[in-house]
């Protein structure tokens, strides 16, 4: 049964990756099918083996992944399709409270792969839109000057402290954080510049799809039609924009994250929990 579950996960992730990369959308039918199939298979497994732990693990996995998905969605990091795909994986894989659990390994892999994937995608966007990115990066640096001064001052204090510390390991930690803190600070500014310069575009209302993030409020004759607070535009709002003949709206396009789910899943199948290799 576990082989069948892994096969269903792989099928969902391959199809989801294809649609996410091609049209920046993961169809609801795919995600909802994954949820129902996952819980259904686990229920059958429980009946067949007279062991209710299988369906319980599926419900726990769905619940935990539902919480994580909602968190990432409302923080604006993932779209609705990414969030629902994670819920489907939770229902299929289940969650056992064990460090050796496949699902725990998948979550660790997802944190590692997702971070590297997001960084690589942002770097490619910055390179393709270098003029716009460099302009926005300088703008962000100017706006965040006080933060830069604070973190550079903090790093200077750490470096000076390292000079007066005799313990080699403590000195290493001080120097490491003295370099790490400003580096992460500038990386955050770079990500913000990528967002400002590469992730906003104007589209016609007829080109919108349900769940698209509208970056700016759209008002007609003083009446608000849609905007960022909606957490994704609805079909009835799209129809209203078309009916009112609104020429264009500003949409925020995020990074398609389902491919990172696929890579994390394959990595976990290959090596298990990657955190084990760091112990």
pLDDT digit string, tens, across residues 15-35: 999 998 887 788 889 999 999
pLDDT-derived band at 85, boundaries 50, 70, 90: very high
The pLDDT tens digits for 187-197 are 778 888 888 88
Please report, for residues 27, 56, 68, 143, the alpha-carbon distance to residue 139 in angstroms, rounded to integers and kept in the order given: 37, 51, 33, 6
The pLDDT tens digits for 93-115 are 998 877 778 888 898 888 888 88
Indicate if the pLDDT at residue 70 is higher than 70: yes
The pLDDT tens digits for 37-50 are 999 999 998 998 88
Q: What pLDDT was estimated at residue 278?
A: 57
The pLDDT tens digits for 156-185 are 998 888 888 888 878 888 888 888 888 877
Q: What pLDDT was estimated at residue 277?
A: 65
pTM metric for this prediction: 0.76
Two structure tokens written together for 14: 């391959």
Residue 178 neighbours by CB under 8 Å, 6+ apart? 155, 156, 158, 159, 162
Residue 161 neighbours by CB under 8 Å, 6+ apart? 174
What is the CB neighbour count within 10 angstroms for residue 15? 15
Q: What pLDDT was estimated at residue 271?
A: 84
d(C-alpha 56, C-alpha 219), whole Å: 47
Architecture of the domain spanning 2-115+255-278 = Up-down Bundle (1.20)
**DSSP-derived 3-state class of residue 135:** helix
What is the CB neighbour count within 10 angstroms for residue 101? 17
Q: Which residue has the higher pLDDT, 159 or 254?
A: 159
Sketch the domain layout of the chain as residue ranges.
2-115+255-278, 127-198, 200-252
């Amino acid at each position: 049964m576990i082989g069948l579950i892994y096969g269903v996960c792989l099928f969902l992730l391959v199809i989801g990756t294809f649609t996410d990369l091609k049209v920046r959308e993961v169809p609801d039918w795919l995600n909802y099918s994954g949820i129902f199939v996952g819980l259904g298979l686990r229920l059958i497994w429980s009946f067949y083996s007279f062991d209710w732990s299988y369906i319980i693990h599926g419900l726990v996995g769905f619940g935990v992944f539902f919480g994580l998905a909602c968190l990432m969605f409302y923080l604006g990091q993932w779209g609705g399709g990414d969030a629902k795909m994670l819920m489907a994986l939770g229902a299929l894989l289940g969650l056992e409270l064990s460090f050796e659990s496949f699902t725990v390994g998948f979550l660790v892999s997802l944190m590692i792969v997702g971070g590297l994937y997001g960084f690589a995608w942002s770097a490619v966007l910055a390179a393709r839109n270098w003029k716009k990115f460099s302009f926005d990066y300088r703008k962000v640096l100017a706006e965040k000057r006080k933060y830069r001064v604070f973190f550079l001052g903090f790093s200077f204090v750490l470096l000076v402290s390292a000079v007066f510390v005799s313990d080699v390991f403590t000195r290493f930690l001080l120097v490491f954080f003295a370099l790490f803190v400003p580096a992460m600070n500038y990386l955050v500014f770079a990500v913000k510049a990528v967002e400002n310069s590469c992730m906003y575009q104007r589209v016609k209302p007829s080109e919108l799809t349900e769940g698209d993030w509208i970056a700016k409020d759209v008002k007609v004759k003083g009446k608000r039609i849609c905007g960022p607070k909606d957490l994704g535009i609805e079909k009835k709002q799209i129809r209203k924009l078309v009916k009112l003949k609104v020429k264009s709206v500003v949409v925020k396009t995020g990074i398609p994250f389902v491919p990172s789910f696929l890579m994390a899943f394959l990595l976990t199948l290959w090596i298990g929990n990657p955190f084990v290799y760091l112990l």
